[in-house]
Homo-oligomer: A and B are copies of this chain.
Amino acid sequence: MFQPLDPLLHSELRLAVMSLLVSVEEAEFPYIKEQTGATAGNLSVQLDKLSEAGYIAVEKTYKGKRPCTICRITPAGLKAFEGYVDALKSYLEISK
């Protein structure tokens, strides 16, 4: 009846991050922060969780002299996102 919802994606901020990365395929920390409206602390924590799950890859480089954190969605992350969207449909009468 109702498909279980991946708890890693069933979170407002993490879902927003994933949604963003699905479309842009590469984004820097400050950009994600701006687009999601998250605080830096919260974003940092949630990016870690997505990264530990293998849903995103986080590259820490430098942009000139300043640190620069670049995020990309992984194939596993994309699959998980698509699975989440599918599962959600079982709750939203979209597919009925």
Contact = CB atoms under 8 A, between A and B. Distances in A.
B10 A12 contact: yes
B23 A93 contact: yes
Interface of A: 1-2, 4-5, 10, 12, 15-16, 19, 22-23, 35-37, 85, 88, 91-94, 96
Contacts of A19: 2, 91-93
Residue among A16, A37, A92 with most chain B CB within 10 A:
A92
B5 A12 contact: yes
Contacts of A36: 1-2
Contacts of A5: 12
Contacts of A96: 23
